[in-house]
A and B are shown apart, each in its own frame.
Chain A
Amino acid sequence: MPTGSDLRRAISSGLITGGIMIYLVAVGIAPALAERQVITDYLTLGRLMLALPALAVGYLVAGRVGSAIARSASALAAGVVAGGLFSAALLASVALSPGIRSVLVRLSTGVLDFVGFADLGLEATGGALLMFGLAAGLALLGGLIRLAPGAVRRTIVGGAGAMLVVTLLEPFLRPRLLQWGFAEFDDWLYVAHGMTPISATSVFVVGAILTGVWPRARQAAKARVANADPGARSVMRWALLLVALAFLYTVPWLSGSFLTQVIVLVGFYVLLGLGLNIVVGYAGLLDLGYVAFYAVGAYFTALITSPTSALGWGLNFWVALPMVVALSAVVGLMIGAPVLRLRGDYLAIVTLGFGEIARVLLGSEALKPWLGGPTGILSVPFMIGDGKYSLPIIGEQSGAAATYFPLLGFCVLAAFVAHRLKYSRTGRAWNAMREDEDVAQATGISTVNYKLLAFAMGAAVGSVGGAAFATHLQGVVPGGFILLVSITVLAVVVLGGMGSIPGVIVGAFALIGTPELLREFAEYKLLVYGAVLVAVMILRPEGLVPDAARKAELEESRTDDGPLHGPEFDVISGDA
């Protein structure tokens, strides 16, 4: 039997989980996803969202050492508590309805019906009981999964993941399948926007198999590479690169217009993320006003290239670009110079201040003659010709696809620059500065100069993004340059892994791509960003694709050996 403390832990976990489930409904996340089918007529994404906490708590609570029965019992207990709390809340909401709607605005009758399984013909009490039972059962299931051997666990997660991916991709997988003539496959896979029970099970099985096979396949591939002679290895590397490039070349053609738009949006954040990565990841400077450089790039470009702007020069984009980058670097230096001696937190806030000042000034009456006020600057010409051009094999590109190629080029260039810098004397100096600023100075590194360099580089990269953005929208408006952009870019870098170049790409796809795929979810984007930032910092501060040194640096903070912050960490860093 579970011990007293195990039981207590199960109960408190259950209460928290019940709270989370209530939260998911009250905030509106679960109801928003209630229409998205996973398995048509059987399982919606909304229900899945509610099921996950129950599964998770069972999984987590069953982790303690103990007999299988004790552990399962703990999991069940947690589920019972969670289910009980949730069902009680459901009944209370129904009882207090419709008055409760004036406070918790999401709890419409429709939502309460959804939670209470009204579609199965149940009344409130029946629905509550069903929820209770399901919560308990799912928690138990989660516990059982935890008890299973590691390999089994992984395959189950893999299968579930595959199902999720197929669900999320439905909106554009379908048109693609039809376009390429796989209509029959499409019919089998999807029906009425969700999978059928049969196709779902098949997807699960396939996913499970792939996950099971993956570790061994990876090992085998690694061994093949390690055993090959250097000549062959270099050939392999080039081949891989070519394949990757070929794939990237055909992405817009493969993806169709909607998905291409999403990818272009992701691309902008990749570019911005690579720039911020230099500032935050390499030099360790938290810049919350990064959007200002983006804005500088966009507005300078608009001013220089638009024939209707205050300057009216109407220059070609590629002629304007070096000017914009240089100007932006200068702005970066100007902003950086007075503030770079401030310590971390204060630097963050002061850059936030700059960013906000910029935002207000951009849309202000005072600067309207130059910057166009709330309506901004229009008629910014496209990067290449009039926005339509032809490429070999894939034909004419227009719209988002036309932006895709130059943007891809910029991203590759930025990644290349970032990579070269990282493994150079400059990169080492930044590392040292981040580790211990005083000692770095004593080793001969002029921290002021290197911080300025990081700032200027970050500004340069950000401004390229801004320039491309201005041409993509063919205009600039102040509303696009708000604090939230800075925070989003920060979240991308943090989630991917500070200092990690592949991490930025992963982070951008995760944070920018997913809300686009899950449109219903888009309203809760910021909420998720906030939760992600907190979760990443607490659970895995080195990010998803960590940089080795950073991982070590942040791991040590999770033991109790580090120093408590004290007065010697002062407002001005490195002050003597």
Chain B
Amino acid sequence: MTTETSVGTHEMGDPGGRLLLVARAVTKAFEGLVANRDIDFEIPRNSIVSIIGPNGAGKTTFFNQLSGVYHPTSGTIELEGTDISHMPPHEVARLGVARTYQNIRLFQNMTVLANVMVGRHVRMHGQWYGAIARTAGIRREEAAAERRGFELLELVGLARSTSGELARNLPYGDQRRLEVGRALASDPKLLLLDEPTAGMNPGETKRMTDFIARLQRDLQLTILLIEHDMKVVMGVSERITVLDYGEKIAEGTPAEIRANPRVIEAYLGKQASA
């Protein structure tokens, strides 16, 4: 299978092919409350897709199922052909899913660099016995991880001098950046960003949006976004999925979604942001 992208055609020979993630008929119920109902969802490789919807539509619940924090009550989720529906979060992370959080959840009392290096945990192999012996291999691995850590800090726009700061002493914008840096440290295939521009002013939002686009381009990442800021969503997404009351009510390109009457009703009917 080949696919046309702005970079040119290229072969997708590995399992799963064009689609990085496929969710089928995913339903999540919590003791009577159905948060997600029968959702089909696909994420093409190397694309940026968004999920939008009014508050309480079930977006974060769906997100949590993609990262393994929740498990679907029924339905399946496949990452590159591997069924991750019932995997614990750390294994999903190992397979290449990384995420950020709506209310920033950094390791507040660890340093900036430590946060990023924890992010790199899955790509490192040092065990406790190696740590005690501090073999050459371990030392090499730590040094390489540190180097990568600094690279990532630079990539997300944090000054090298902040590497020793405690995460909670950073200004808000930098904390968001650090969270992305931590997520990138695991060399993920799929990056889940939960409201990455929440609490940002227009200038910062624009910078974050450009950054997301750059990530996709330069790192060949696949990105899934939850967002409320329509400018961001419309500006950067290739495809948008709309949830309301736990169900998918629309899906398509930004232009299609903008014109979709059901979507407009879902939002205006609840006086949500536009």
Q: Taking beta carbons and an 8 Å cutoff, which residues of A are in contact with B? A: 416-417, 420-421, 424-429, 431-432, 435-436, 438-447, 453, 457, 549-550, 552-553, 556, 576
The 4 closest A-B pairs by CB, nearest first: A424-B131, A444-B122, A444-B93, A425-B126
Residues of B within 8 A of A436 (CB): 105, 107
Q: Does B168 contact A (CB under 8 A)?
A: yes
16 contacts between A and B (CB under 8 A): A420-B133, A420-B134, A424-B128, A424-B138, A424-B142, A427-B131, A428-B121, A432-B121, A435-B107, A438-B89, A439-B105, A439-B107, A441-B93, A442-B98, A457-B128, A553-B108
B254 in the interface (beta carbon within 8 A) = no
Q: Is the beta-carbon distance between B109 and A553 smaller than 8 angstroms?
A: yes
Bound complex: CA of A428 vs CA of B131, how far in Å?
11
Residue of B nearest to A554 (CB): B109
Of B13-21, B68-76, B231-239, the one with at least 4 CB within 8 A of chain A: B68-76
A417:B132 contact, CB within 8 angstroms: yes
Q: A427-B131, A436-B105 are in contact. Are A443 and B121 (CB under 8 A)?
A: yes
Residues of A within 8 Å of B45, CB to CB, are none
Residue B127 interfacial (CB < 8 Å): yes
CA distance A429 to B90 in the complex (A): 12
1/0 contact trace for B182-226 toward A, CB 8 Å? 100010000000000000000000000000000000000000000
Q: Are A442 and B114 in contact (CB under 8 A)?
A: no
Partner of B94, one of A429, A435, A444: A444
* Cβ-closest chain A residue relative to B131: A424
CB closest residue in chain A, given B65: A576
Rounded to whole angstroms, the CA-CA distance of A432 and B122 in the bound complex is 13
Size of interface on B: residues with Cβ below 8 Å to A: 42
Contact B128 A453 (CB under 8 A): yes
In the complex, the chain A residue whose C-beta lies closest to that of B169 is A552
| Contacts A441-B88, A446-B88, A576-B70 given; does A425 touch B108 at CB 8 Å | no
B89 and A442 contacting across the interface, CB-CB below 8 Å = yes
CB distance from A554 to the nearest CB of B (A): 9
Contact call A549/B110, Cβ cutoff below 8 A: yes
| A442→B122 CA distance, assembly (Å) | 10
A residues less than 8 Å from B101 (CB atoms): 439
Contacts of B89 in A (CB 8 A): 438, 441-442
Residues of B within 8 A of A556 (CB): 108-109, 168
Interface of A is mostly: helix
Picked from B64, B71, B121, B142, the residue with its CB within 8 Å of the CB of A445 is: B121
Residues of B within 8 A of A441 (CB): 69, 88-90, 93
Q: Are A446 and B90 in contact (CB under 8 A)?
A: yes
CB < 8 Å neighbour of A549 from B109, B119, B121: B109
Q: Indicate whether B36 reaches chain A with its CB closer than 8 angstroms.
A: no
For B107, the closest partner residue in chain A by CB is A435
Query: In the docked arrangement, what's the CA distance between A109 and B127, Å?
Result: 65
The contact string, 1 if C-beta is below 8 Å from chain A, for chain B 111-132, is: 0001001110110101110111
Q: Which of A416, A426, A438 contacts B126 (CB 8 A)?
A: A426
Contact of B110 among A432, A438, A442 (CB under 8 A): A432
Cβ contact within 8 Å between A431 and B110: yes
Contact partners of B134 in chain A: CB under 8 A: 420
Quick one: given A435-B110, A552-B166, are A425 and B124 in contact (CB under 8 Å)? yes
Judge whether B90 and A424 touch: CB under 8 Å. Answer: no
B180, chain A: closest CB distance, angstroms: 13
| Extra A-B contacts (16), CB below 8 Å, given A420-B134, A425-B131 | A417-B132, A420-B131, A421-B132, A425-B141, A432-B121, A435-B110, A436-B107, A439-B101, A441-B93, A442-B67, A443-B119, A443-B182, A444-B186, A447-B90, A549-B109, A576-B71
Q: Are B126 and A424 in contact (CB under 8 A)?
A: yes
Instruction: Kindly state the separation between the CA atoms of A447 and B91 in the bound complex, as whole angstroms.
Output: 11
B248 is an interface residue with CB less than 8 A from chain A = no
Q: Are A443 and B186 in contact (CB under 8 A)?
A: yes
Q: How far is the CA of A345 from the CA of B98 in the complex (A)?
A: 31
Contacts of A438 in B (CB 8 A): 69, 89, 105
B90, A428: Cβ atoms under 8 Å?
A: no
Cα distance A441–B69 when bound, in Å?
Answer: 9
Cross-interface CB contact of A435 among B64, B88, B93, B109, cutoff 8 Å = B109
Q: Does B99 contact A (CB under 8 A)?
A: yes
Q: Which residues of A contact B133 (CB under 8 A)?
A: 420
A442 with B128: in contact, given A420-B134, A435-B109 (CB under 8 Å)?
A: no
Name which residue of chain B comes closest to A429, CB basis.
B121
Give 1 or 0 for each of B54-94: 1 = CB within 8 Å of chain A CB.
Answer: 00000000001001111100000000000000001111011
Contact with A along B143-166 (1 / 0, CB 8 A): 000000000000000000000001
**Cβ–Cβ < 8 Å partners of B68 in chain A:** 442
Which of A431, A440, A441 is most buried by chain B, counting CB atoms within 10 A of its CB? A441
Give the distance in Å from the alpha carbon of A550 to the alpha carbon of B131 in the complex. 22
Inter-chain CA distance A425–B142, complex, in Å, is 8
A436 and B182 CA atoms in complex are apart in Å by 14
Q: How far is the CB of A327 from chain B (nearest CB, A)?
A: 18
A425 to B186 Cα, complex, angstroms: 14
Which A residue sits closest to B119, measured CB to CB? Answer: A443
Residues of A within 8 A of B67 (CB): 442
Write the nearest CB–CB distance from B97 to chain A, whole angstroms. Answer: 8
Contacts of B88 in A (CB 8 A): 441, 446
In the complex the two chains form, what is the Cα distance from A443 to B92 in whole Å?
9
Bound Cα distance A110, B118 (Å): 64
Q: Which residues of the partner chain A approach B182 to less than 8 Å between Cβ atoms?
A: 443
- Complex alpha-carbon distance, A565 and B89, angstroms: 24
User: Given B71, B122, B128, which contacts A443 in the complex, CB threshold below 8 Å?
Assistant: B122
Q: Write out the residue numbers on chain A whose beta carbons fall within 8 Å of the beta carbon of B98.
A: 442-443
Q: How far is the CA of A420 from the CA of B142 in the complex (A)?
A: 13
Residues on A with beta carbons closer than 8 Å to the beta carbon of B108: 435, 552-553, 556
Q: Give min CB distance, A421 to chain B, whole Å.
A: 5
Q: Point out which of A425, A426, A444 has the most chain B C-beta atoms below 10 A from its C-beta.
A: A444
Contact at B128–A421, with CB atoms within 8 Å? yes
Give the CA-CA distance A546 to B229 in the complex, in Å.
44
The interface residues of chain A lying within 8 Å CB-to-CB of B64 are 576
State the CA gap A553–B132 with chains docked (Å): 26
In the bound assembly, the distance between CA atoms of A425 and B117 in angstroms comes to 8
Q: Which chain A residues border B69 with CB–CB below 8 Å?
A: 438, 441-442, 576
Asked if B128 and A432 sit within 8 Å, CB to CB, the answer is no
Most A-side CB within 10 Å, residue of B105, B107, B186:
B107
Contact between chains at A444 and B90 (CB < 8 Å): yes
Q: How far is the CA of A435 from the CA of B108 in the complex (A)?
A: 7
Contacts of B166 in A (CB 8 A): 549, 552
Contact B93 A443 (CB under 8 A): yes
